[in-house]
Structure 1
């Protein structure tokens, strides 16, 4: 990818222009870029990323967003619509997560700007609640800790880093890819604020033994957060369709919070997620108040301040338009497609599906470096996500993969790729790909942190330096 995308075709803004450019000219540029970038995922060969892939749905959401894009969701006195949208989004997610099974506390929720923020808010809430109710805080000489499987999303590591929490990571079974509750229990102590399970985890799409983790959490008196950011809006409908989805929500005693991304299989715009709590008191623990500020009493339910009301409107519109029937229909198509794709993988003996996944899966090989497969299929338009320890290829099945011909193309290309990989292994050649969350990129062999920092700098800073002027 170019360090200066589109620089050869469109004007480069080196400074804030003295005179603005015509709207029609700018919209023409935006249209060209959007059409070209849409063409990349419309083939159905991209893992995850575009979970809906339906331009009519996007147009509908865009119309809903546009009506409230300029609205600040903080100003509820001026914009009561935001109270309606946010309240009903939370209510619908609580219903989906079977909050009706909770009888001894008052369930509640929070709309956030993404899965990472849902996880951050949950862990912050556990830290604050444990400090207030159990005296676990660094000020009291007790360092709080979190116990999680190694498959749990890095957002939990980020939460520990940001909030001064000890991160205790437990290995998973290499065959099942699931965490052993007894291994989790061995890491819990008096300073543990919560434990974590995934439904499903990102690396393999497998579902941790949530019922057993729930019993463990109850027995040890700690919270249990279920990360349903990936599966929260598809697994419930898979269960309704008769797939063997184990309970992972508030029906499971001991589950105290759940994150679910509306911007994934909820088919809302990016920047939308929900975290729900069994007990309102835990959620309220992370509220922020500053009562002595000269600008007035400041209160915030979450880490965000101003938010665009457009995202709340579009998320509400997506959920209420699709309803259970719509989500169930799309889930059926995705589960069926995922099963067909996994059957294609299993038809090649050198390839192995990892664990027992559902709608997204990873596969590896003991016979050759699986990244040879990614190398071969990339020029044919396939964009997988790379895994590591062991090296594997990850495919989150979304609606674009359910289009006619995609499974057949995968079958044909994978057959050629498997042959290529065996040839490369026999010749002793190294693959060119590597594992970075969100894609398979050039291999990383040494000084990994330095290379990763350079990559991030490139994404954030290179464009600011601007391409050299042509004279």
Structure 2
């Protein structure tokens, strides 16, 4: 069937396709001019928010031209087909070893790990490995339902527990705490605990949980009870920040009790959306029963994943960043993000009605604050709505149990959020604050029309 052509003037908006709403429930019967189809879909997508103003997401929203080129050149590369695309497979392997070295694995050249579609899949794979190792250690006489102990976590761990029949023991927050604390562990672990999840960069306040202190407490519990409970570190964001900004901090494989680490390449790893990583201390910590060896597309392929076919471009882009930036480049980018976050936090704290819960210095490049006092005359939800009117996405939400009465607002600073962008946000936030605290008369004056 011939393509529907534009009108005789060649104008996209005079074409037949542009004369009616785009299909929503049924595929059109005929084909259309690709230029017209592209422009109309492009126009719809322009209604999305501006990624540069999205300060709610941890995810990468900026990439250089070379990454765009590599992604375009890699559209046909399937990560699962290692026989057909051996160099893409080699690049994935290099990334695993680079990350193992970055996270201080005992023998990074032989460490086992894999790429995933994101840190959520990586976390589930790590959780499955913990469950299998627990089952092996319990033996045929073991009974009871396995459990996983953690503080407030990202929803992927709730999914893992529900999908794979594990009890999730989420420890409530204590006053003044942003995450799990060591002295809370003893009341929650037992012989059926498959592991403890420590968060390097909590979703709610962006602080690092004290992994080394948690490890020491589990050592003490082991001496007292005989329980040998491993730690998995969910470093979805912090895994690409702490090694560059706090290299002295022991949170990774330097701690013998840490058996696995997951991270998002597409968060502070600076890669495009769609890549995560999980690395195990050694092949001993990834049970062989979980690894499938599939004869597919010309070769025998070991695989451990929740999906199968997926694009290779994101993995290639991750490797490009490693090669281009190196440790020095990652340090400079993350340092600039932290400096911007700290400066913004200081300015917001100086406005008066806000109190910083996290100032951006020791964890992720971010800030988190609450309203000071109960008589501000507005809520952080009101402020988030006002900022949204100006295009900014700055979420407000309650903290997890047992601090749910505290409502906070969080701002994430990532690559692409410059000091100038932060200043523009601060100017709008200040304007919103004036609007929310002004009297009705001032609102009426502002609403009036003036020549």
Say whether the 8 Å CA contact 2:261–2:280 is kept in structure 1.
Answer: yes
1:260 CA drift (Å) = 1.2
Q: How many residues align?
A: 403
Distance 1:286 1:303 in 2: 14
1:21 CA drift (Å) = 2.4
1:311 CA drift (Å) = 2.6
Q: 1:49 to 1:300 in 2, by over 3 A?
A: same
Matches within 5 A, 1:216-255: 216-218=217-219, 219=222, 220-239=227-246, 246-255=249-258
Question: Is 1:210 aligned to residue 211 of structure 2?
Answer: yes
- In the other structure, the counterpart of 2:157 is 156
Distance 1:410 1:16 in 2: 42
Say whether the 8 Å CA contact 2:387–2:428 is kept in structure 1.
Answer: yes
Distance 1:258 1:374 in 2: 34
Question: Is 1:401 aligned to residue 411 of structure 2?
Answer: no
SS at match of 1:400: coil
Choose the corresponding residue for 2:125, options 121, 125, 142. Answer: 121
- In the other structure, the counterpart of 2:430 is 415
- In the other structure, the counterpart of 1:466 is none
Q: Report the TM-score when normalising by structure 1.
A: 0.77
Distance 1:61 1:378 in 2: 30
Matches within 5 A, 1:89-108: 89-99=95-105, 102=106, 107-108=111-112
SS at match of 1:399: coil
Say whether the 8 Å CA contact 2:101–2:108 is kept in structure 1.
Answer: no
- In the other structure, the counterpart of 2:387 is 377
Distance 1:408 1:292 in 2: 56
Distance 2:136 2:171 in 1: 27
Say whether the 8 Å CA contact 1:354–1:362 is kept in structure 2.
Answer: yes
1:235 CA drift (Å) = 2.1
Choose the corresponding residue for 2:317, options 314, 320, 329. Answer: 314
Distance 2:92 2:383 in 1: 44
Distance 2:301 2:107 in 1: 33
SS at match of 2:50: helix
Gaps of 5+ in 1: 1-5, 425-471
Q: 1:235 to 1:308 in 2, by over 3 A?
A: same
Q: Report the TM-score when normalising by structure 2.
A: 0.81
- In the other structure, the counterpart of 1:53 is 62
Deviation string for 1:259-292 (max 9, x for gaps)? 1111111111111010111122222456244889
SS at match of 2:255: coil
SS at match of 1:232: helix
Matches within 5 A, 1:279-428: 279-285=282-288, 287-289=290-292, 300-355=303-358, 357=360, 358=363, 359-365=365-371, 366-367=373-374, 368=376, 369-388=379-398, 389=404, 390-404=406-420, 406-422=421-437
Q: 1:238 to 1:263 in 2, by over 3 A?
A: same
Q: 1:279 to 1:421 in 2, by over 3 A?
A: farther
Question: Is 1:83 aligned to residue 89 of structure 2?
Answer: yes
Question: Is 1:19 aligned to residue 27 of structure 2?
Answer: no
- In the other structure, the counterpart of 2:177 is 176
Deviation string for 1:228-286 (max 9, x for gaps)? 1012112221125xxxx732211233222111111111111111010111122222456
Distance 1:172 1:60 in 2: 44
Q: 1:9 to 1:265 in 2, by over 3 A?
A: farther
Distance 1:104 1:65 in 2: 28
Distance 2:21 2:139 in 1: 59
In terms of Rg, which structure is larger? 2
Distance 2:43 2:194 in 1: 50
Q: 1:164 to 1:45 in 2, by over 3 A?
A: closer
Say whether the 8 Å CA contact 2:271–2:321 is kept in structure 1.
Answer: yes
Deviation string for 1:213-241 (max 9, x for gaps)? 1223343411111111012112221125x
Deviation string for 1:168-207 (max 9, x for gaps)? 1111233131322111222010110100111111110101
1:35 CA drift (Å) = 5.7
1:9 CA drift (Å) = 7.7
Say whether the 8 Å CA contact 1:125–1:285 is kept in structure 2.
Answer: no
SS at match of 1:326: helix
Say whether the 8 Å CA contact 2:342–2:367 is kept in structure 1.
Answer: no
Say whether the 8 Å CA contact 1:52–1:265 is kept in structure 2.
Answer: no
